[in-house]
């Protein structure tokens, strides 16, 4: 009987290690996607070099906008389905994670709404003067939203990365 217990503990321990490894991989993937969003955002917004920004002519490219939106949607979906879904459904048991999520998730949800709305709004971007003028204003707000989301998200990711 003792050997049965010992054998059953090994898979549980291995499952715990596997879960931690999957979580670490998910966190790393989400952070990588966020970095991709920021890099793509900077290229889209024409932020290549602050010391040359005023000298550079920058035109908004519809293809780059669509590529950016796809990366942004992938990032948003990964955060929602791979990280936040468990919290939303009440399946997270760690108190530290639950506490942080209660504090910051409502604001993350607001950023998600903004990112989805941005994607929907510019899904049919044609590059007209009106489109470009509207996009320039929205890009400024979008940059702020991405920064805030990253800060809030880091709080949850830090709590998730804790062993307890």
Q: What is the CATH number of the domain that holds 145?
A: 1.20.120
155 — pLDDT class (breaks 50, 70, 90): very high
Going by C-alpha positions, the residue among 71, 70, 97, 68 that lies closest to residue 83 is 97
Domain count, the chain: 1
Domain coverage including residue 151 = 2-161
**CB atoms closer than 10 angstroms to residue 72:** 23
- Whether the Cβ atoms of residue 3 and residue 48 lie closer than 8 Å to each other: no
Q: Looking at residues 122-126, what average pLDDT do you find?
A: 87
Residue 22 is predicted with a pLDDT of 87
Q: Looking at residues 105-122, what average pLDDT do you find?
A: 95
DSSP string, 21-43: HHHHHHHHHHHHHHHHHHHHHHH
CA distances from 55 to 50, 65, 127 (A): 10, 22, 22
Residue 10 is predicted with a pLDDT of 46
**CB atoms closer than 10 angstroms to residue 100:** 20
Is the model's pTM score more than 0.85? no
């Amino acid at each position: 009987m003792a050997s049965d217990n010992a054998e059953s503990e090994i898979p549980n321990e291995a499952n715990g290690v596997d879960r931690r490894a999957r979580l670490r991989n998910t966190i790393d993937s989400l952070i990588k996607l966020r970095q991709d969003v920021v890099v793509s955002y900077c290229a889209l917004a024409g932020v290549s070099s602050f010391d040359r920004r005023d000298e550079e002519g920058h035109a908004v490219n519809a293809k780059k906008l669509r590529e950016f939106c796809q990366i942004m949607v992938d990032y948003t979906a990964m955060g929602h389905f791979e990280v936040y879904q468990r919290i939303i459904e009440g399946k997270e048991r760690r108190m530290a994670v639950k506490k942080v999520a209660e504090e910051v998730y409502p604001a993350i949800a607001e950023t998600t709404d903004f990112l989805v709305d941005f994607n929907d709004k510019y899904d049919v971007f044609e590059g007209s003067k009106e489109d470009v003028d509207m996009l320039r204003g929205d890009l400024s707000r979008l940059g702020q939203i991405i920064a805030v989301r990253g800060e809030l998200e880091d709080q949850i990711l830090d709590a998730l990365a804790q062993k307890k």
